[in-house]
Structure 1
């Protein structure tokens, strides 16, 4: 009976709040964009305009979305009321832009939660989050396994089996260091004196650069051979010293590089996953199981893994992540007030917010243009790479 009464009151509230049907998703999106606009106005010294824009975000838009949300999650609504009030009061009292950006970041996160409540997660967003969680760890873990196998094979060829323990000690230390790096990064980012959006933007930008490099590195067999030769040279120096610690250090630095990249990618993916982060961890768990099988095949059974077949798939997924992170990075810079926003709401299809965050497909000219540019760079880079390989093949044929 109480639920029925609450529902009736909610419907009455919606009817009184605004004429006609209320598009809750549209009101939430508009509130989000007005919050970002108010920050840009405040930073430009237009304090009064910024205050009015922030007030409009709440009174003219978020309040229309409140009634249906109040039944589903009343705590979130109360939290949002306080945060919008903090933003307006901060502008009135002349607070530093960094403080207001933090408040705005909390508001945007809550708006995203509200959007998820209204639209539901569906199946696509969880699938994307799980795929991302799996692919990142599996790619980096596979690379680490192959590097370890190469080091162990070199030790076996030089009959230095007594130094094999150094490889395992170094790998274990690298895993521990990676876990510490994850927790340290999470903590430092949580207390950083900059807005959440700016942190997300910088993290995404760094991830894009590394992903772009990895994509083409995996495609270039020559670069992989040079990298393997460089690693063997380092291992050779460690073996010549006869020190277990030297071998452990080489292994540690080799594996920890993969671990550091993993931490960076997961930080960017965790921000994008948001309410479906649990599925990202499910992907991580599946990757751990898959890597356990790979390790058993390589180190227990002594068999080769068909990496030549796996790498093209991993390259494609890595490229897709780069495109998604570009979109998210540009959007984060927009939310931080560093880039302009040209909205395309109503002109292009709007995705579920979780799907948009995981694909980077946000309805603004700037985010979509950045993603198109990234795709073009990949296409041109791939074409140039293939042309160079064709020229090398011709030279070898003539020689």
Structure 2
């Protein structure tokens, strides 16, 4: 608290033009610097080297420098690091370096700007809560699906007293969990050394996550699709059991569970980027989800179908939809930072959110990000309406078939 008061005093006393214009809005200056860095990249990619250099210089001299005084008190090392990075960006433009290299430098600058805004604004309570909720929900949803699939496999094998078959299922599930951990480690490593900007990686990851989340939402809503999936899995199990191959049974279990694990890795990669300074809260949510899944797993295998797991699916659909909308906003924002999409700022016209909250909800004050999220909400509304209409349309036929039987 003392450091923050001292930082505010420094803003009032030492910021350029502070006496004439009043206190500097530090978060606003940082956001403007962030957008000018993205603009300079677009100009450089279009061949306007001199204009790009001037824009990058303006980002530092006309905006970031106004935010330096309080940040020097709170984190002097970060300020020194950012001065070098801004210098690297300008020098790279002057020396004609490849766009990909400058995008990497700009990505480091944007990460530091966000960190600086978090230092000035504080993380508050909402951002850690959102990160923890996201960490919990992703693992719990995917883990619950995996637990239900395992329960269905064991239910199918219930009539068989061959203990080797059941052990093959456990080995297949354990291998799937191990493969999921390896996939997470490999994905983290590959993304860290990929020869493209982190913004572009984040954008592509968000788009893929949105596509999977969108399909999952309506899969969970449509009972017929879930029945078809269960029938397909039982058919594969039947073939494996009839052949007597333990390897075949283990592979069926592995592929069934690993699909959930792969989705989990993808969603966490997107959420980790959004969590930023509150990443520890995401890991807290993961830990709580692991405990909740352990309890659910024991109850599921003890009470089986008597557990009201079906009632969870509507809530999971709602949470899945919220994740998709958030990832859409972050994906568009990442494309903007990579210089692929223009930026139409709405700063000053809309309420300003904490930067960490913006990253976790995807609510960024630009026309492009908000329009993409609004479109996503409309698509979800239309899809939900279609699913309801389709279920009501087919329910009389289903009821008629039941009466005839």
Task: Check 1:365–1:8 CA distance in 2 against 1; reply closer, same or farther (3 A cut).
Answer: closer
Residues 1:259 and 2:269 aligned together: no
| Distance (whole Å) between structure 2 residues aligned to residue 17 and residue 100 of structure 1 | 33
Task: Check 1:154–1:69 CA distance in 2 against 1; reply closer, same or farther (3 A cut).
Answer: same
| Distance (whole Å) between structure 2 residues aligned to residue 337 and residue 359 of structure 1 | 22
Mean CA deviation greater in 207-216 or 290-299: 290-299
Note the 1:130-209 alignment, pairs <5 A: 130-209=132-211
Q: Deviations over 1:356-387 (max 9, x none)?
A: 00000000001000000000000010011101
| Distance (whole Å) between structure 2 residues aligned to residue 229 and residue 325 of structure 1 | 32
Alpha-carbon distance, 1:8 to partner: 6.5
Q: Deviations over 1:195-244 (max 9, x none)?
A: 00000000000000000000000001110000000001111111112122
Unpaired stretches in structure 1, ≥5 consecutive residues: none
| Distance (whole Å) between structure 2 residues aligned to residue 208 and residue 221 of structure 1 | 22
> What value does the CA root-mean-square deviation take over the aligned residues?
1.9
SS at match of 2:15: helix
Q: Provide the residue aligned with 2:82 in structure 1.
A: 80
| Distance (whole Å) between structure 2 residues aligned to residue 2 and residue 345 of structure 1 | 27
SS at match of 1:268: helix
Equivalent residues of 1:330, 1:367 under 8 A apart: yes
Note the 1:77-156 alignment, pairs <5 A: 77-156=79-158
Mean CA deviation greater in 344-353 or 57-66: 344-353
Equivalent residues of 2:7, 2:71 under 8 A apart: no
Q: Deviations over 1:256-293 (max 9, x none)?
A: 00000000000000000000010000000000000000
| Distance (whole Å) between structure 2 residues aligned to residue 179 and residue 392 of structure 1 | 42
Equivalent residues of 2:11, 2:23 under 8 A apart: no
Residues 1:247 and 2:249 aligned together: yes
Q: Provide the residue aligned with 1:217 in structure 2.
A: 219
Q: Provide the residue aligned with 2:324 in structure 1.
A: 322
Corresponding residue pairs, total: 399
Alpha-carbon distance, 1:395 to partner: 2.5
| Distance (whole Å) between structure 2 residues aligned to residue 37 and residue 145 of structure 1 | 48
SS at match of 1:342: coil
Task: Check 1:87–1:15 CA distance in 2 against 1; reply closer, same or farther (3 A cut).
Answer: closer
Task: Check 1:97–1:360 CA distance in 2 against 1; reply closer, same or farther (3 A cut).
Answer: same
Alpha-carbon distance, 1:160 to partner: 3.8
| Distance (whole Å) between structure 1 residues aligned to residue 107 and residue 334 of structure 2 | 10
| Distance (whole Å) between structure 2 residues aligned to residue 270 and residue 35 of structure 1 | 23
SS at match of 2:397: helix
Residues 1:226 and 2:243 aligned together: no
| Distance (whole Å) between structure 2 residues aligned to residue 265 and residue 115 of structure 1 | 25
| Distance (whole Å) between structure 1 residues aligned to residue 200 and residue 219 of structure 2 | 29
Residues 1:13 and 2:14 aligned together: yes
Alpha-carbon distance, 1:162 to partner: 2.8
Equivalent residues of 1:234, 1:250 under 8 A apart: yes
Instruction: With the length of structure 1 as denominator, give the TM-score of the two structures.
Output: 0.96
Q: Provide the residue aligned with 2:370 in structure 1.
A: 368
Q: Provide the residue aligned with 1:45 in structure 2.
A: 47
| Distance (whole Å) between structure 1 residues aligned to residue 252 and residue 124 of structure 2 | 46
SS at match of 1:361: coil
Equivalent residues of 1:323, 1:375 under 8 A apart: yes
| Distance (whole Å) between structure 2 residues aligned to residue 306 and residue 35 of structure 1 | 52
Mean CA deviation greater in 234-243 or 312-321: 234-243
| Distance (whole Å) between structure 2 residues aligned to residue 364 and residue 15 of structure 1 | 28
Equivalent residues of 1:11, 1:67 under 8 A apart: no
Equivalent residues of 1:297, 1:303 under 8 A apart: no
Alpha-carbon distance, 1:305 to partner: 2.8
Alpha-carbon distance, 1:95 to partner: 0.3
| Distance (whole Å) between structure 1 residues aligned to residue 348 and residue 152 of structure 2 | 54
